[in-house]
Structure 1
Amino acid sequence: MSNYQRLILSDRQQPTPNTETALSAIEVDRNRIVQCSPVRRLQQKTQVFPLDVKASVRSRLTHSLEVKEIGRQLALMVLAELEPDVEQQAFVSLVEMACLLHDVGNPPFGHFGEVVMIDWLRTRLPSLFQQAVGKKSRQWPMLIADLQQFEGNAQSLRLLHSLQGLNLTLSQLAALQKYVRGAYQRQSSAPWQQKPGHYFSERLLIQQMRALFPTTVRGRYPLTFLMEAADDMAYGVADLEDAVDRGVLSLAELEQALLSDGNDYLKDCWQQAKAGDPDFFSRFRQHINDDLQVLVSEQYLAHHSAILDGSHNTPLLAVEQAPAQALQWLKDFARRQVFNRREVEALELSGFAALKGVLEAFAPLLALPEQEFISLDSRQDAEGLVLRRLYHRLPPRHLAAYQRDSRNADLFEDASEREWYFRVRLLLDFVSGMTDTYILEEYRLLCGFQG
């Protein structure tokens, strides 16, 4: 049995009645993923420019489609050098679908939105918990630490598994896991600990995944390395292309900086692509990506044994080779010269107001004791009528997940803390799942609603 036969499996958390081969199960996954609503919502979530109406500028969906195609090419290049008994179609599909899904857990306004949500959670949750529950168990410090960290990778797992109920293969879910730390665990200097990769609410799923793939206790599932590299390759040039297309950055500014500070490889790519000619960025991007694909596949194969046993601890593009250094220069330049531009920051300020405004409007639902929250439909006083209308704005799918987990989820020591934990998750699931335009509409409605 090859290593990949142990990694590419049909196992799901909820077994299906039909006998599935690994390939047939992963093909079923593919169908479920492509048709799921979180993927569709990516078309109205930001990549770089929030709320942009210009069709040529990338959304999260178009970015994810580009990542998916790069991931496919990387998978095919690696497969050409692997043992022949690897199930090639399943291998490629796992990488492609991990690429397509890698951003589904991102909140409105992307990484900026994550920062806003984390700030609100750290500021407001302690007092809201005191009002709603008060008494703390020994477990509570771990649970509040979990709730006060919002991370798109962890939310992707929760969204696909606990909310959408896609029941994807554990192989597919493992391929999404860029980080091995739970949000309830302290950060350490060990590999893949920089951010949380899952929440306490998905802890049982992670335990089952790690039992099936023991190397993921301390390291990544191997195909995750290819997904991560594909993402880096996709946005490295694309963010600058969008900035030029949007008029936030001029081609002359980029050219001057690149020819002044870029490495010789990057300068050569720029000059060969002939800036100013039609389809310049397409040629420039393709030149760099062709070389990066070779580099990534070489790095994957060079560290193959360590990747398979979970001990490889650096991204495939974290190497001192000219194409990788050129990509890093482009990403650093975008951070310095695009994301700090007045126009981008102005759009993010709109997102800041909307995110904090919506979270604050729904905060009174978190201040209620459990019995008051679950009996809102019977209240007729003025405050109760307002709270009831807020409650009715929560999606039925998310409410069903709350009702299921707040009563029955394992690993919680105190029932009242469990209920409140999933009430907070209910609000975070609702808000993080909104598109950029939806949260602005919700904010405007609530501002009018509040007088």
Structure 2
Amino acid sequence: MIDYSKKLTVDREFYPIDNLDYSIESDRGRILSAPAFRRLQKRTQVFALELNASIRTRLTHSLEVAQTARFIAKTIFSKLTEEELKTYCLDGLKDAFVSTAEMTSLLHDIGNPPFGHFAEKTINKWIKENALPILESFSSSYDESKKLKGMIAKDICNYDGNAQAIRVITKLQKLNLSYTQTLAVLKYTRGAFEDRPKKGEPFDYLMKKPGFYYSEKDLIEQIQKKLDVEHGHRFPITYIMEAADDISYLTADLEDSVEKGILSLDEVYNLIKAECEEEGENYLLDVIEDRYQKAKNDDEPFQFNMFFTLVRAKLVTSLVSHVVDIYIDNHEAIFKGKFNSALLEYDKHSKYYKAIEILQNISEKHIYKNAHVQKLELQGYAIINGLLNIYKPLLGLSSEDFEKLMRDEEIECFIAMRLIKRIASKHVVAYSNDVKKLDKEDVESFKILEWYYRVRLIIDYISGMTDDFALHEYQVLLAIK
């Protein structure tokens, strides 16, 4: 049975607000005023360290996704009958539903590191090569500590912006968002410490990436239990955020590539036309043909904006209607969180899916593989890798020595004494709060988990940097002028 009153609630970890509307508005205020949200303005979307303010950043991308999510959520309400709204207990919950979809979209990239997805791969590569050997040296003489050690090994090698987002919200920023808002951000439902399902196994899509770390495991389970969401299942509104994200990517990178001078308007048009003709896809071809001719009738400085504005408006309107139909047609499975697909990928024979594929293929071939873009990725790799190398001495300390560092006592590793002072205090507090909960009597498990939270501490600090701050820190610590 679909009952949204059990999903859209006032529950939160601390200081619950009795009135649902006030609770939702409180979430909105906390998100918009969060420092981690503001830092998205200096994080890479595609082009790192970009000075042209019209090129998309993680912040401007998130604003676009939020608008599309709002459009989807409102369209769902417009297509449901009054009887269905009552049956699903959505009557009177429109503001809460729409706002949750919108705010989830603003948060969806809040855990992404500087320099984009390439940095995620960089962090995981560094951890495998540098941190795992340290973990292997830890004693694990009984089954429980062996199992824990294995889980931690998987967890630290699975850094992901989606999982980091949950950590930012709950631990590093302590936004104390409602359980509804927090769980809506959980895009993938697998713990980073769990094995990925094989293709064809249950929830192979929903669990294809890590959605949360071992460090947030207990809290996520607590929230899932409260909102009646089973393990491996997703919160219903998360499907809306995901669809909005997918739709927002349609022409965004192509627009930015023209702004950057990588492609011209005519080149974009000709590339889309050629790809459509090769694939025998008429829907997207008809959309661009009509809009291209209209744009060409405008004054030359405005042709670029006119073309993308018209194309985007048509595609977004059509795709929103398409995903809303899929949401409503599969409402019960989506409400329960067991719908094992992205909304836009559900019907792979539709003209909309084929249009998306064509646009993605063009971006992959002509933007992401562009020499300038790949040079920026290599620079990001050098910076992230260099910073992790600099902070590595903190991982080589014994738990006793690191405890002394926390008490500001002198230890033999004088470099570590300087490095710890550079890490943001909120990250240090998050580490300390987690370590306080550990059982020191279980020596093997304590040492493994204390070190695990130390790894999280370093990753939290470096992954939370903006592009320009990471570059500055790299230059300062390597004495580069």
Fold equivalence (TM over 0.5): yes
Q: Which residue in the other structure is 2:12 paired with?
A: 12
Residue type matched to 2:320 in 1?
A: Q
**2:372 counterpart of 1:343:** yes
Residues 407 and 415 of structure 1 are in contact (CA less than 8 Å); yes or no, is this contact kept in structure 2? no
> For 1:324, which of 347, 353, 359 is the aligned residue?
353
Residues 160 and 166 of structure 1 are in contact (CA less than 8 Å); yes or no, is this contact kept in structure 2? yes
Residues 113 and 464 of structure 2 are in contact (CA less than 8 Å); yes or no, is this contact kept in structure 1? yes
> For 1:190, which of 194, 198, 202 is the aligned residue?
202
SS at match of 1:203: helix
SS at match of 2:253: helix
Q: Which residue in the other structure is 1:122 paired with?
A: 128
**2:299 counterpart of 1:287:** no
Find the aligned partners of 1:232 and 1:380 in 2 and give their Cα distance.
Answer: 50
Q: Which residue in the other structure is 2:446 paired with?
A: 415
Residue type matched to 2:392 in 1?
A: A
**2:400 counterpart of 1:394:** no
Q: Which residue in the other structure is 2:464 paired with?
A: 433
> For 1:90, which of 96, 108, 111 is the aligned residue?
96
Find the aligned partners of 1:216 and 1:15 in 2 and give their Cα distance.
Answer: 25
Find the aligned partners of 1:33 and 1:170 in 2 and give their Cα distance.
Answer: 14
> What value does the CA root-mean-square deviation take over the aligned residues?
2.0
The 1:271/1:305 distance shift into structure 2, 3 A limit, reads same
Residue type matched to 1:356 in 2?
A: N
Say which is worse superposed, 231-240 or 354-363, in terms of deviation.
231-240
**How does 1:167-178 map onto structure 2 within 5 Å?**
167-178=176-187
SS at match of 2:187: coil
Residue type matched to 1:27 in 2?
A: E
**2:331 counterpart of 1:304:** yes
Find the aligned partners of 1:373 and 1:309 in 2 and give their Cα distance.
Answer: 44
Residues 135 and 153 of structure 2 are in contact (CA less than 8 Å); yes or no, is this contact kept in structure 1? no
> For 2:69, which of 54, 67, 71 is the aligned residue?
71
Find the aligned partners of 1:281 and 1:15 in 2 and give their Cα distance.
Answer: 46
Say which is worse superposed, 402-411 or 99-108, in terms of deviation.
402-411
- Percent identity between the aligned chains? 37
Q: Deviations over 1:401-432 (max 9, x none)?
A: 11111121589971111211110100010011
The normalised TM-score by structure 1 is 0.94
Q: Deviations over 1:189-235 (max 9, x none)?
A: 33211101000000111111221233442321111111001001111
Q: CA deviation at 1:135?
A: 4.8
Find the aligned partners of 2:339 and 2:471 in 1 and give their Cα distance.
Answer: 43
SS at match of 1:172: helix
SS at match of 2:79: coil
Residue segments in structure 2 that go unaligned for 5+ positions in a row: none
Find the aligned partners of 1:438 and 1:410 in 2 and give their Cα distance.
Answer: 37
Residues 2 and 332 of structure 2 are in contact (CA less than 8 Å); yes or no, is this contact kept in structure 1? no
Q: Deviations over 1:17-48 (max 9, x none)?
A: xx512222111111101100111000000111
Q: Which residue in the other structure is 1:29 paired with?
A: 27
Q: Which residue in the other structure is 1:368 paired with?
A: 397
Q: Which residue in the other structure is 1:150 paired with?
A: 159
Residues 393 and 415 of structure 2 are in contact (CA less than 8 Å); yes or no, is this contact kept in structure 1? no
The 1:323/1:199 distance shift into structure 2, 3 A limit, reads same
Q: Deviations over 1:155-201 (max 9, x none)?
A: 00001101111111111111111111100101113321110100000
**2:334 counterpart of 1:334:** no
Q: Which residue in the other structure is 2:477 paired with?
A: 446
Q: Which residue in the other structure is 1:234 paired with?
A: 248
Q: CA deviation at 1:130?
A: 5.0
